[in-house]
Amino acid sequence: MDYEIVVPSTADGSQEVTIRRWLAEVGQPVQAGKDLVETTTQKIALYVSSPVDGVLVEIRMDAGSVVRIGQVIGVVRTP
């Protein structure tokens, strides 16, 4: 089953974040609750974690991309 990685709301109320870097690569196993991507707003850094144990199968937004809160940025697949 595929699970979407979604940008969560931020503590500072920003409506968008910038992806600084991915901490995992496509094809790499990931664990639920482990950070997958580092993002920033003008005020804070925010880490987005994996929703489940699985494999990162898709990165939809590359480092440097500006994305909106709630936007899907990647996909994790479970066995």
Residue 12 banded pLDDT, cuts 50, 70, 90? confident
- Taking the C-alpha atoms of residue 79 and residue 73, their distance in angstroms, rounded to an integer, is 20
- Taking the C-alpha atoms of residue 57 and residue 77, their distance in angstroms, rounded to an integer, is 6
CA atoms within 13 A on the CB side of 27: 0
Higher per-residue confidence, 13 vs 19: 19
Q: How many CB atoms lie within 10 A of CB 37?
A: 24
Model confidence pLDDT, tens digit, residues 30-68: 999 999 999 999 899 999 999 999 999 999 999 999 999
Mean pLDDT of the chain: 96
Region 2-77: CATH code: 2.40.50.100
What is the value of pTM for the model shown?
0.91
